[in-house]
Amino acid sequence: MSSNESFADRLKREGMKDLAEGKLKDAEGEVRSGTADLVDDESEQAKGNLQEVQGKAKEQWGKAQKKAGELLDRDKDKKP
């Protein structure tokens, strides 16, 4: 964290990073499970489904971090 970066800014930045990584992992999982479905590979399909769930969870975590940073900024602006 740079000396000029606030905790709220760091939360928002990390949230955006996790959000993007989560979306990518979700998409990779969809491709993996879809490809496995085409070749009838249940093991790979399960791995792809798991990857999708992990991606969705990371995406939600990123959204929560971003929202927390926004709320901290909003509260900071309201203080006299």
* Cα R_g (the chain), whole angstroms: 18
**pLDDT digit string (tens) for 14-41?**
999 999 999 999 999 999 999 999 999 9
- For 41, 57, 79, the CA distances from 28, given in Å and listed in that order, are 16, 14, 44
Q: State the pTM of this model.
A: 0.84
**pLDDT digit string (tens) for 54-68?**
999 999 999 999 999
**What is the share, in percent, of the chain residues with pLDDT greater than 70?**
92
CA dihedral 25, 29, 31, 32 (to 10 degrees): 130
The answer to whether 15 and 69 are in contact (CB under 8 A) is: yes
Angle (CA) 31 59 68, round 5°: 170
Question: Tokens in use for 58?
Answer: 């990371």
Q: What does the domain layout of the chain look like in residue ranges?
A: 7-78
pLDDT of residue 3: 63
